[in-house]
Structure 1
Amino acid sequence: MAALAGTVVVLLGIRYAGAGEPGVLDTRIQAGVEGVGPPWRSLALAMDFLGEPVGAATLVGVMVAGCLLLRRPRGAVFLVAGVGLAVGAATVLKHLVGRTIHDGHLSYPSGHTAFLTALALTVAMLATHRRGREGLPGPGLGRTAGAVIVLTAALVAGAAMGWAQVALGAHYPTDVLGGWCTALAVIPATAWLVDRTADRLADRRADQPADVGRLEGR
């Protein structure tokens, strides 16, 4: 999934590098979405706020606090690292691609869409995680069911924020697709990295008492 999403991000970035106008697909979609009136515009503004610094920090803070209350520090690290890397990747790509909208504002990929998709992905992955792996009771979800739930969460979050960005005229539809795929590419890789690092640290801590015992025996 990460490889496929990353390929889409790269191809779209090459296609729209340095562009300052919508493509054919953008124009068709914008015609039916952009410029919505009340109450839809209010909903779009509320969605957009979730991707702004204050709204984003609040959402992440609540999720991290929930992980800590549930005694899942690895989950808290995953949330912060995953969302941070997804937004960071979107920011770097904006400068590399150089696509603009509205008087030179960098637009590809959509950082708002990358953020909310990344947050939804991390929360869904944590919720569907096989609890048996960490010694918690319960069988957990199967691989197929877990994958369906995770992808559905990503699709719903990405579609909601993407619609808001296009409706408000802040991004082209292909910017939204690029932001969605950016999160899909970054989050699985981040999950693997966090798990690998945490497992190594746990193994080192487990080995320390045995090492001390052997030294004391000498």
Structure 2
Amino acid sequence: MGEYDRSPGSGGRATGPPEPVLPPSLRGLLGIVASVAALVVLVLGATYAGDREPGPTDARIFAAVDGVGAPWRHVAVATDFLGEPVGAVLLVTALVTGCLLLRHPRAAVFLVTGSGLTVGTTALLKPVVGRTIHGDNLSFPSGHTAFLTALALMVSLLAAGRLGLGRAAGTSLVCAAGLVAGAVMGWAQVALGSHYATDTLGGCCTALAVLPVSAWLVDRTGDRLALRRAAGPAGPEDERRVDAGGQRLR
């Protein structure tokens, strides 16, 4: 489905609602997931604020995956590249191009907005938490892990909407995709010594907290713009007759 449904008798004007990036059936459960994820980030951030050394859990996990050799180290390096600026831009550009070819511009906006808000949130949290690794390198939460988790969440959300999945199946798909992507990038970051394991958990949970909110904002803004375009040019009198919800009063 494209951004609008059009009927022959409407002169090309949109008659159906735009396709949302956050399926209505998933909003409630994903809202709960986002709240729990935000709480985890808050607890981890408070626990490791100002730390310069790994905690006991981090030390054990690091000892288990440190020093991976070929071919796994090559896999870790390739995975890490996806979170680097060049790799991230290439990945997002490819997905945005696909959305535009499928005539789903709202999904393209969502991919850019969701990625930007997630990475921006990690950048804001790092100096607040103040946890460091290898000297003065801020480490919590992991931006690489947050980015790949966010991308997986967005793609799976769009897939759930296209496939018309129900609440249970859709939420399971989205959460599973996010957790798998977070685990893969988290492993790569710990194996390469770039982050502590709890940093990567914080990055994954940051994405889980931010993405549902990003999707809601994109849908909310897109719906308002669609209503304005569907209504056509409005004069001062018409504008006064539009209520706060964007519906034209009669």
Q: TM-score, normalised by structure 1?
A: 0.91
Partner of 2:112: 80
Give 4+ residue runs of structure 1 displaced > 4 Å after superposition.
none
Is 1:54–2:86 an aligned residue pair?
Answer: yes
Is 1:25–2:57 an aligned residue pair?
Answer: yes
Partner of 2:210: 186
Instruction: Give the drift of 1:208.
Output: 2.2
Residue number among 188, 194, 200 corresponding to 1:176 in the alignment? 200
Report the AA paired with residue 98 of structure 2.
Answer: G
List gaps (5 residues or longer) in structure 1.
132-138
Q: Give CA deviations for 1:84-133 in whole Å, capped at 9, x if unaligned.
A: 1000100111111110000111100000000000000001101111x4xx
In structure 2, distance between residues paired with 1:56 and 1:190: 18
Per the alignment, in what secondary structure is the counterpart of residue 68 of structure 1?
helix
Q: Give CA deviations for 1:162-215 in whole Å, capped at 9, x if unaligned.
A: 000000000000000000000000000000010011001111112226x57x99
What percent identity do the matched residue pairs reach?
65
Within a 5 Å distance, the mapping from 1:189-200 to structure 2 comes to 189-200=213-224
In structure 1, distance between residues paired with 2:67 and 2:160: 38
Higher relative helix content? 1
In structure 2, distance between residues paired with 1:90 and 1:58: 20
Moved more, 160-169 or 34-43: 34-43
Instruction: Give the drift of 1:24.
Output: 1.2
In structure 2, distance between residues paired with 1:25 and 1:143: 35
Instruction: Give the drift of 1:59.
Output: 0.3
Within a 5 Å distance, the mapping from 1:158-177 to structure 2 comes to 158-177=182-201
Report the AA paired with residue 179 of structure 2.
Answer: L
Partner of 2:178: 154
Instruction: Give the drift of 1:68.
Output: 0.3
Is 1:14–2:46 an aligned residue pair?
Answer: yes
The aligned length equals 205
Report the AA paired with residue 207 of structure 2.
Answer: A
Report the AA paired with residue 2 of structure 1.
Answer: A
The CA RMSD measured in Å over matched residues stands at 1.4
Report the AA paired with residue 186 of structure 1.
Answer: V
List gaps (5 residues or longer) in structure 2.
1-32, 239-250
In structure 1, distance between residues paired with 2:52 and 2:178: 28
Report the AA paired with residue 139 of structure 2.
Answer: S
Q: Give CA deviations for 1:139-181 in whole Å, capped at 9, x if unaligned.
A: 7211211111111110111010000000000000000000000
